[in-house]
A and B are shown apart, each in its own frame.
Chain A
Amino acid sequence: MNEQMDCSRTDHGDGWVTVAVRWESDADGQAAGYLDAGRVPHVLDRITTKPDPAAAPSANYDVELIDDEGVDLLNGVGANRSASAPEQRLLYNLSGSGHGLELRSRPGLRLFVTNAGSAKRGQVLLAGFDLPQDEG
C-alpha cells in the first residue's frame, strides 16, 4: 500500500479472512494503493465501506478494485458510496456465474477511492476466504 492507505489482514479461522483498509484522500479527492496478492483472500465474498464521520468523504464517492489490465473487478458495485452510513455489497464475478470474486491469481491489484473530496478518510473491509493448496 502507499502512504494514502493502511492495510491489515486478519485470519479468523477455517480460511475466513478479512482485510481492513484505512484510506485518506489527497487534494484531488483520491486515494490509491496496491493490495499485496498474499494478503487478499483468494475468493472475495463482500466489501463494506465506512466513512469517517470526523472527515467524511463527499456523497457518492467511489471505490474500485483495479486489476493489472485496468478492469474494475467490482464491476461498479463500489460506486456511489454513502458519505454517512456504512454499506455492505455482496460480490459476484464478472462472468455472472454467481461465484465470489476470485483474486488468487490476480497480481497488481489496486484499491482506488475517487471523488471523495480533499483530505477525507474512511475504511474499506474486504471479506472472503482462502482456498486449500490443492483446490482451484
Chain B
Amino acid sequence: MIQATNGTIIDRLHDGLWSVNWSTDSDGLAAGLLELADPMTMLELCATHRDGSIAAGSYQVRLFDDWGIDQFLGEGEGLSRQTQTRITIRQGLFDPASPPAGTFPTRPHVLTPGVYALHIDFEAAVQTSGFLTVRFERGIARRRAWERER
C-alpha cells in the first residue's frame, strides 16, 4: 500500500496490476511512499488524467528510488492531460559512448526491493485528479529470459 505524503492516493494491488487513484494538493502534487519487498519487473504504465477542463500542458509521473532516480526511466515525463497514455517501461539504448549501429531492442526493467516515492506532478495550484495502473511481474524471469533468448 502507498502511504500518501501529498494530495490523496488510493491504491490497490491485485494479480500483477497496481492501480492508483490520485488527487493533487495545492502544490499540484500527488505523492506517496511504497515499499517493495521483492524484485519486480515492470511491464507497462498507463496514465489517465480525469479533468478535461485542464487540458492544456502536460504532467509528470515518476517513481523515485531511495537515491532519487526515476525508475520509470523518464517515460512518465510530459504526459498529455487530454488523452490516456499507455507506455511500455523498457530499457532503451541510451548512453554507451559509442552506440552500436542498428535498431536496439529494449530490455525489461527490474525494480530492486526498497522504498520508492511515486510522484504525480502538475505545476503549482493545479488541483486535479486521475488514475494510473502499472502492470508488473514479481521476480526477474522476464529479464532473465530476454538475456537467454537473444
Which A positions have Cβ atoms within 8 angstroms of B? 12-16, 18, 43, 45, 48, 50, 75-77, 79, 85-90, 92, 96-100, 125, 127, 129, 131, 135
Residue B52 lies at the interface, judged by CB distance under 8 Å to chain A: no
Q: A77-B95, A127-B112 are in contact. Are A16 and B140 (CB under 8 A)?
A: yes
**Which 4 residue pairs across A and B have the least CB separation, nearest first?**
A96-B100, A76-B97, A16-B39, A14-B139
Apart from A85-B68, A99-B150, list 18 A-B contacts with CB within 8 A: A12-B38, A14-B38, A14-B140, A16-B112, A16-B140, A45-B143, A48-B69, A50-B67, A76-B97, A77-B96, A77-B97, A86-B67, A90-B95, A90-B107, A98-B104, A100-B147, A125-B67, A127-B110
Residue of B nearest to A91 (CB): B96
Give the residues in chain A near B141, CB-CB below 8 Å.
14
Interface size on B, as a range, is 20 to 34
Q: A18-B112, A89-B95 are in contact. Are A135 and B148 (CB under 8 A)?
A: yes
Which B positions have Cβ atoms within 8 angstroms of A? 38-39, 67-69, 91, 93-101, 104-105, 107, 110, 112-113, 139-141, 143-144, 147-148, 150
Residue of B nearest to A14 (CB): B139
A8 to chain B, nearest CB (A): 14
Query: B97 touching A75 by the CB < 8 A rule?
Result: yes
Q: A88-B69, A125-B67 are in contact. Are A97 and B150 (CB under 8 A)?
A: yes
A129 to chain B, nearest CB (A): 6
Q: A16-B112, A98-B150, A100-B147 are in contact. Are A76 and B98 (CB under 8 A)?
A: yes
Query: A75 touching B112 by the CB < 8 A rule?
Result: no
Query: B147 touching A75 by the CB < 8 A rule?
Result: no
Instruction: Supply 15 A–B pairs (Cβ within 8 Å), ascending by A.
Output: A12-B39, A13-B39, A14-B39, A16-B110, A75-B96, A76-B98, A86-B67, A92-B93, A96-B99, A96-B100, A98-B104, A98-B105, A100-B147, A129-B143, A135-B148
Q: A14-B139, A98-B107 are in contact. Are A43 and B147 (CB under 8 A)?
A: yes
Q: CA A117 – CA B3 in complex, angstroms?
A: 40
Q: A12-B38, A13-B113, A86-B69 are in contact. Are A129 and B94 (CB under 8 A)?
A: no
Query: B98 touching A75 by the CB < 8 A rule?
Result: yes
Query: B96 touching A76 by the CB < 8 A rule?
Result: yes
Among candidates A43, A86, A98, A127, residue contacting B68 with C-beta atoms closer than 8 Å: A86
Give the residues in chain B near A45, CB-CB below 8 Å.
107, 110, 143
